[in-house]
Structure 1
Amino acid sequence: MPTLRVNGVDIAYDESGRGGPLLLLHAGVADRRMWDDVLPAFAARFRVVRFDQRGYGETPLPDGPFVYGADAAELLRLLGIERAHVVGVSMGGHVALDLALARPELVDRLVVVATGIGGWEFGPAMKAGWADEEAAIERGDFDEAAWINVRMWLDGPSRGPDEVDPALRRRVFEMQRRALDYENPAAEGGWLIPERHLKLGQIASPTLVAVGELDQPDFVRIARHVAEAIPGSRLQVLPGVAHLPPMEAPQDFASLVVEFLTG
């Protein structure tokens, strides 16, 4: 497992393929392994860089403040990459938007999938899910906390567990369970642009906004809001998937992204 010392932390990452640089930013319910099924298609066209953000996969979460986008920018610098396409899912989409606003010179084309944004008022269902997760963590039941996340994000609001590939559910559980082992109240993640949601109209990169039709309704609404706010962006609603399209429909997702990045 290669690592690079990035802003004081050993960041786990890997590279594959040749071509223009492509940076992949994983979801908060996953780690860099969420890209496994789309990596061959991407690596056939691009130099692909993926990494575990702090507190995920093989990257630790030490005490103290940090900035997600600053880690991504510094990783690119250390790898000698001056500009890259950036694809982010969920939390990774949030980081990608932050990077596009604060460091536009680094971002060529931008793809955000099921992205979060700051300043959004979530509905009762999302708040209840997060409260259940927090309660499980407080009583030390990290397994249940991880399964709550699987149900929220992979199953989504309209599918039961028996309607989702059990192997896929297990993969997401294992990634989230590992992240929960890093829980550290003394670590505090922050952003390059604190009020990103008010500045989306400043993003100049060609942008694809995608969301699964079976995702949480709040995230479908966020996707529409982001697409409306970013000038010239394209909105794509993905059929038959929820919050993690690269894992749920890898062939369709890879084709969509490659077409956008090379078109």
Structure 2
Amino acid sequence: MDLNYSTYGSGPAIVFIHSGGVDSRVWLELVPLLARTHRVVTFDARGLGQSPAPQEPLNPVDDLLGLLDLLKLNRVTLVGHSIGGELATNFTLSYPGRVDRLILIAPSLTGFAFSDTYMNWMGEVNSLAPDIGKMTQFSLDGPIYRTVMASNYRDFFIEMHTQYFTRVFTEWRSFDLIWPHPPAIERLEDIAVPALFVYGDLDWSDMNDLAAEFKRLPSIAFAKLEGADHMFPLTHAGELASHIHSFLNDNP
């Protein structure tokens, strides 16, 4: 296992899986709030933060399994943000015996058809390649980052986002992701563990459609944060921690 990881606190294990565009430092405000009562694990996804860049197609589920095995964590609560939520969902479907509870923070979902608005924005970001500076700036100006870019975390977020684009275009040798089949969107009813879905009201409108898909889970609760964009683990950490604590206390 060559992924960079950190552990904090003691108690039942919670593993945090960050979004794209950043690294595990995005949890800096949330970790102390959860580590009071839990063993918190954070890690840098392959190619991000301090983890090595991918040289072949990535299998995020295998990476997460390897980390849990290394740390001898048999059952955990998974907290996944954005593509980290996509990974948490796929892992839960692949290894249901390893997951106690599932917390999804503005997640993506394998097999979900995103809106033209979102896809066109992503297309514009990618069209600026290989100019890393232009790609980074266009992405930072995106509507889903308006709250974080107006906050005290602006410079910190810019630093992480810049490092993300720089590493992707200078170190990565493969951009292919390997997800389990059939896609998760076709199997959501199979997730039996209690789940929580948290999202912000200033995210893409797609998030409402994603929430509708996740309503198919047998046991799921929802929380919507006002004034929160896609990066609310930074800007709304206290409010997010409160929802997580309530969910964990209701599902001991």
Deviates more, 1:193-202 or 1:203-212: 193-202
Q: Does 1:143 align with 2:130?
A: no
The Cα of 1:131 is off from its aligned counterpart by 1.4
Deviates more, 1:175-184 or 1:88-97: 175-184
Match of 2:126 in 1: 134
CA contact (8 A) 2:148 2:231 kept: no
Tell me how far apart the structure 2 counterparts of residues 17 and 116 of structure 1 sit (CA, whole Å). Answer: 29
Over residues 127-176 of structure 1, what are the superposed CA-to-partner deviations in whole Å (9 max), with x where a residue is unaligned? 221112112223x2x123223333336435xx795xx21x4232222212
Residue 11 and residue 194 in structure 1: after superposition, are their counterparts in 2 closer, same or farther (change >3 A)? farther
Q: Does 1:35 align with 2:22?
A: no
Tell me how far apart the structure 2 counterparts of residues 148 and 240 of structure 1 sit (CA, whole Å). Answer: 22
Over residues 45-98 of structure 1, what are the superposed CA-to-partner deviations in whole Å (9 max), with x where a residue is unaligned? 100000000111111223112211111111011001101011001010000000
Match of 1:255 in 2: 242
Give me the TM-score of the superposition, normalised by structure 1: 0.88
Residue 193 of structure 2 is aligned with which of 182, 187, 205? 205
Deviates more, 1:53-62 or 1:171-180: 171-180
Residue 126 and residue 100 in structure 1: after superposition, are their counterparts in 2 closer, same or farther (change >3 A)? same
Match of 2:162 in 1: 177
CA contact (8 A) 2:30 2:233 kept: yes
CA contact (8 A) 1:29 1:149 kept: no
Match of 2:53 in 1: 61
CA contact (8 A) 2:17 2:42 kept: yes
Give ranges in structure 2 of 5+ residues lacking alignment. Answer: none
Residue 152 of structure 1 is aligned with which of 115, 118, 142? 142
The Cα of 1:220 is off from its aligned counterpart by 2.5
Tell me how far apart the structure 1 counterparts of residues 148 and 23 of structure 2 sit (CA, whole Å). Answer: 24
Give me the TM-score of the superposition, normalised by structure 2: 0.92
The Cα of 1:17 is off from its aligned counterpart by 0.4
Match of 2:17 in 1: 25
For 2:220, give the aligned amino acid.
S
Residue 234 and residue 172 in structure 1: after superposition, are their counterparts in 2 closer, same or farther (change >3 A)? same
Match of 1:92 in 2: 84
Over residues 149-207 of structure 1, what are the superposed CA-to-partner deviations in whole Å (9 max), with x where a residue is unaligned? 33336435xx795xx21x42322222122122222253422123451110011001100
Match of 2:67 in 1: 75
Match of 2:111 in 1: 119
CA contact (8 A) 1:154 1:242 kept: yes
Whose strand proportion is higher, 1 or 2? 1
Give ranges in structure 1 of 5+ residues lacking alignment. Answer: 1-5
CA contact (8 A) 2:144 2:202 kept: no
Tell me how far apart the structure 2 counterparts of residues 257 and 22 of structure 1 sit (CA, whole Å). Answer: 11
Percentage of identical aligned residues: 27
Post-superposition, which runs of at least 4 consecutive aligned residues in structure 1 deviate over 4 A? none
For 1:109, give the aligned amino acid.
R
For 2:204, give the aligned amino acid.
Q
For 1:189, give the aligned amino acid.
L
CA contact (8 A) 2:80 2:87 kept: yes
Residue 182 and residue 220 in structure 1: after superposition, are their counterparts in 2 closer, same or farther (change >3 A)? same
- How many positions carry a matched residue from both structures? 247
